[in-house]
Structure 1
Amino acid sequence: MSFFSRYKNFLLEIHEHGQDQSNPQTENVFPVYNFAEWKLTSDHDSSDLNVLKRNEKLLKQTQASREQPFGVIVSSPAEIELAAQYSDFLYIPGEICRQSDILECSAKTQLPLFIERGNFLAPTDISRIIEKIGAKHTIALVDCGTSNGYSDALLDPRVMAYMQNLAVPFGVHLSELLSPEGCTYAHRPHWLLNHDFIQAFIKTAHVFDASFFVIKNYGKGQIQKNQVLQCMARNI
């Protein structure tokens, strides 16, 4: 039985690099650890910097202490090879979602793969990602919204309709909708950060049979998992 057949209506919680890994375990909430810090090292060869290698001890400890699955954000073949030894799934950020060496190396691990759709990637281009992986049963897509300027990201139902027709599991990144990463415009309307919209996002996603949701537990995009779990339970 594949990962995506076993787990449905779950939540991925992204943890900042360096956070305490001994967080309490919650049923159907799976942590994703950003050991790679890929955005901070994107101008360098992470295999030379040994970004993940310095955290191998943490990966071992996490693997030993957790009963539920956990994942790792990866951004290079070297990171993928190391993370695959300990984690239960891999998470590929949207900015590199079509990078061939990342996709091909990830596919070789035969681990479940969560792949973000970049804000500027047309939904019809998602099929190329699936073709590079070559095995639908190992893939889940994460929609981070569509860039709309003004430091905003829109949850476009047309994108979800397209994802639904691809016949692979998909979910919605709630933190990216409330606080798009990398957007620092001071004039961004404050009402866009209203957490009451979380329920609207979840309701919309469930109409299209979304299987899971993604949140961050740090920074401007921080969302309390209990709030999301309550909304998910109301909309099953």
Structure 2
Amino acid sequence: MSFFSSSNNFILEIGFELSSTSLHESVFPVYDFPQWKILTNHSSKDHLEEQSRDLLKKAKSSTQRPFGALVSSAQEIEIAAQYANFLYIPGELCRQSDILEAAAHSHLPLVVERGCFLAPIDVVRIVEKLKNADVALVDCGTANGYSDSVLDPRVLFLMQKTGKKIGIHLSDLLSPEGQTYTHRPQWLSDTDFIQAFVRTGKALGASFYVVKSYGKGAISTDQALKYTVGN
């Protein structure tokens, strides 16, 4: 990615508020459009769009640091592309052609998650659809039932073969979909596993990691930094 090309072991922090002034130099904020809209669903469509633009304008004017926007529709892409430095496509949309096409037309760097049900070999198809776009790929784990995700080394191996920068979504591995279920064994959410995920990622070429700053899937960015930048 253009502004990440010389960086390794950085973190993308997904949140619905942008407070980039307090972030570590190796952390880049990602504004979560869909989540923010859910939390403010009392507003009209026009008001939501106006508020979104205001937040992105403020972020762009208040910091020289790159920041991204997680987007889930062509309209969100159009708005975010005017202010953000890169776009983030969630896993459930990783094969949706109209979203990928709209994102590619923004001419911004793109971070695309691999959906948890997408076969490892199909990460190649994501890259093929985006053709000449500047793309990085993120693995969120492979669905394993009972709200569990498994870090499959085959995925990272095949991602690495695409020649794209690759990353691992730590929050989705510890708490898929940000949920906590009564039948889910607590050991599956043990944050000590962050170290295992990072070590596996580094062995297979991962150069960045993703965390969420909100909800039940939240991970302390400082804790993630300890295992990524600190090692």
TM-score above 0.5: yes
- For the aligned residue pairs, the C-alpha RMSD in angstroms reads 2.3
Q: CA deviation at 1:227?
A: 1.2
Give the CA deviation at 1:130: 1.0
- Percent identity, aligned pairs only? 55
SS in 2 for 1:6: coil
Letter paired with 2:65: Q
Taking a change above 3 Å as real, the CA distance of residues 81 and 20 of structure 1, as seen in their structure-2 partners, is closer
CA change 1:146–1:61 in 2 (3 A) is: same
CA distance in 2, matches of 1:23, 1:2: 22
Give the counterpart letter for 2:227 in structure 1: C
Question: What is the alpha-carbon distance in structure 1 between the residues aligned to residue 221 and residue 22 of structure 2?
Answer: 12
Match of 1:7 in 2: 7
Seen in structure 2, the aligned counterparts of structure 1 residues 52 and 121 have a Cα distance that, compared at 3 Å, is farther
Deviations 1:66-110 (A, max 9, x none): 121100011111111110000000000000111111101111111
Residue-by-residue CA offset, 1:155-193 (whole Å, 9 max, x unaligned):
011111111111111100000000000645311000011
State how 1:1-236 maps to structure 2 within 5 Å.
2-15=2-15, 17=16, 19=17, 21=19, 24-37=22-35, 40=38, 51-135=48-132, 138-181=134-177, 183-235=179-231
1:52 to partner: Cα distance? 3.8
Letter in 1 for 2:29: P
Work out the CA distance in 2 between the residues paired with 1:51 and 1:142. Answer: 28
Partners of 2:190 and 2:145 lie apart in 1 by 18
Instruction: Give the match for residue 45 of structure 1.
Output: none
Residue identity in the other structure for 1:101: D
Partners of 2:167 and 2:201 lie apart in 1 by: 8
Partner AA of 2:121 in structure 1? T
CA contact (8 A) 2:70 2:90 kept: yes
Relative to structure 2, which stretch is displaced further, 2-11 or 184-193? 2-11
Please give the alpha-carbon distance, in whole angstroms, between the structure 2 residues aligned to 1:22 and 1:161.
Answer: 32
Q: Which moved more, 1:188-197 or 1:223-232?
A: 223-232
- SS state at 2:136 partner: strand
Question: CA 1:49 to 1:121, structure 2 compared with 1: closer, same or farther past 3 Å?
Answer: farther
Displacement after TM superposition at 1:230 (Å)? 1.2
Report the CA distance shift for 1:22/1:107 in structure 2 as closer, same or farther (over 3 A). closer
SS in 2 for 1:128: helix
Partner of 2:42: none
Note the residue ranges of structure 1 that are not aligned, 5 or more in a row. Answer: 42-47
Contact 1:38 1:74 in 2 (8 A): no
After TM superposition, give the deviation of residue 25 of structure 1 in Å. 2.7
Paired with 2:165 and 2:129, the residues of 1 have a C-alpha distance of 17
Task: Give secondary structure in 2 for the equivalent of 1:181.
Answer: helix
Letter in 2 for 1:112: P
Alpha carbons of structure 1 residues 234 and 23: separation in structure 2 relative to 1, 3 Å: closer
Q: How far 1:49 sits from its partner (Å)?
A: 6.0
Letter in 1 for 2:105: K
CA contact (8 A) 1:36 1:52 kept: no
Q: TM-score scaled by structure 1? A: 0.89
Residues 35 and 51 in structure 1, CA contact (< 8 A), matched pair in contact too:
no
Q: Displacement of 1:22 after TM fit?
A: 5.9
Give the paired residue count.
228
Conservation of the 8 A alpha-carbon contact between 1:38 and 1:75: no
